Amino acid sequence: MKFRIDVSLKPGVLDVQGKAVEGALHGLGFSDAQNVRIGRFVTLEVAGDDPTHAEAQVKDMCEKLLANPVIESYQITPL
């Protein structure tokens, strides 16, 4: 079972990396770029035949390692 996990800062949390990239884009002449936000994604495979169990494991991985639930939200997509 292959999964993709998208991790992004919760709305309202200042995205300093996004702000830095936005500033750099403006510096390069892309003055039309706005609201730049950066997130990350993880693709992984979970061995085993039970999709429900695999997805529950991935959720557990997110809570324990892949995301910071205090400031980040995540979305799990089976691939």
Binding site for a copy of itself (CB under 8 A): 6, 8, 18, 21-22, 24-25, 28, 30, 32-48, 54, 57, 60-61, 64-66
Nearer to a copy of itself, 34 or 70 (CB): 34
Question: CB of residue 70 vs a copy of itself: minimum separation in angstroms?
Answer: 18
Give the separation between CA 21 and CA 31, rounded to whole angstroms.
Answer: 12
Nearer to a copy of itself, 57 or 68 (CB): 57
Question: CB of residue 48 vs a copy of itself: minimum separation in angstroms?
Answer: 6
Question: CB of residue 72 vs a copy of itself: minimum separation in angstroms?
Answer: 13
For residue 25, give both structure tokens: 């884009």
Neighbours of 58 (CB within 10 A): 22
| β-bridge mates for residue 3, sequence order | 44, 78
For residue 15, give both structure tokens: 């995205």
- DSSP 8-state assignment for residue 10: P
